[in-house]
């Protein structure tokens, strides 16, 4: 499964949200599995979108045929768009599915991993982070995606902001020490996204 992550700064909120409804047109696209997104809870005006495709071939076909027509209504409503593609490596918890109906909050962690530490990073995701997140109240499901090279996206879906708040900073610090994250990761950027149900396709 291919994961597309888009982060952008919205300059015309009403126009952007109006244009966002046009993406319902994705529903007829071969290989499309789902899309959702919302507003950053820490950065005013920043929006995140995550889309899922069965394969790179289906995604490339969509980009060549239909993308520009669907995107036309949002031209000029945002700036600084950053787009990243990741291949699904494994689930966090079990049975990941790209649906957003039961989700309130998305947590995104974008990790640049040191080349010689990739195997260790992935092992720690599986053995340390995965069980800890799977055991957190309100954490519904998640996944680890990998881009070419040493770039990873950890995406988790949460039932509510209050439940995600139970995933305490001191617990995260303990887990980070155990997983040797400082040795594995060159840079990490995260965000917490309040889902906008009207953006879900």
Return the domain boundaries, the chain.
Answer: 2-199
Query: Residue 172 pLDDT > 90, yes or no?
Result: no
User: Looking at residues 175-179, what average pLDDT do you find?
Assistant: 79
User: Looking at residues 17-42, what average pLDDT do you find?
Assistant: 96
Dump pLDDT digits (tens) for 56-90.
999 999 999 999 999 999 999 999 999 999 999 99
Alpha carbon distance 13, 22 (integer Å): 15
User: Looking at residues 44-54, what average pLDDT do you find?
Assistant: 98
User: Looking at residues 34-52, what average pLDDT do you find?
Assistant: 97
| Average pLDDT along the chain | 91
User: Looking at residues 152-166, what average pLDDT do you find?
Assistant: 78
Alpha carbon distance 90, 142 (integer Å): 9
pLDDT > 90 fraction of the chain, expressed in percent and rounded: 75
Alpha carbon distance 122, 132 (integer Å): 15
Indicate left, alpha or beta for 102 from its phi (over 0: left) and psi (-120 to 50: alpha): alpha
Dump pLDDT digits (tens) for 51-61.
999 999 999 99
Rounded to two decimals, the pTM is 0.91
Nearest residue to 51 (alpha-carbon basis) of 155, 147, 191, 159: 155
Dump pLDDT digits (tens) for 101-120.
999 999 999 999 999 999 99
Nearest residue to 156 (alpha-carbon basis) of 118, 196, 129, 185: 129
Query: Residue 139 pLDDT > 90, yes or no?
Result: no
What CATH number is given for 2-199 in this structure? 3.30.70.100
Alpha carbon distance 104, 83 (integer Å): 23
């Amino acid at each position: 499964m291919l994961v597309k992550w888009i982060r952008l700064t919205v300059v015309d909120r009403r126009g952007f949200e109006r244009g966002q409804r046009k993406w319902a047109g994705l529903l007829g696209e071969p290989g499309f599995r789902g899309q959702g997104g919302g507003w950053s809870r820490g950065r005013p005006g920043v929006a995140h979108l995550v889309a899922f495709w069965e394969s790179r071939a289906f995604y490339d076909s969509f980009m060549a045929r239909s993308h520009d027509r669907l995107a036309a209504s949002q031209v000029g409503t945002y700036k600084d768009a950053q787009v990243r593609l990741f291949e699904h490596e494994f689930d966090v918890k079990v049975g990941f599915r790209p649906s957003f109906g039961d989700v309130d909050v998305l947590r995104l962690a974008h990790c640049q991993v040191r080349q010689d530490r990739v195997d260790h990073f992935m092992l720690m995701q599986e053995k340390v982070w995965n069980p800890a997140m799977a055991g957190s109240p309100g954490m519904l499901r998640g996944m680890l995606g990998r881009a070419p090279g040493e770039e990873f996206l950890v995406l988790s879906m949460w039932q509510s902001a209050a439940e995600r708040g139970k995933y305490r900073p001191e617990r995260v610090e303990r887990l980070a020490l155990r997983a040797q994250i400082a040795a594995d990761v060159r840079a990490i950027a995260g965000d917490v996204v309040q889902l906008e149900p009207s953006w879900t396709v």
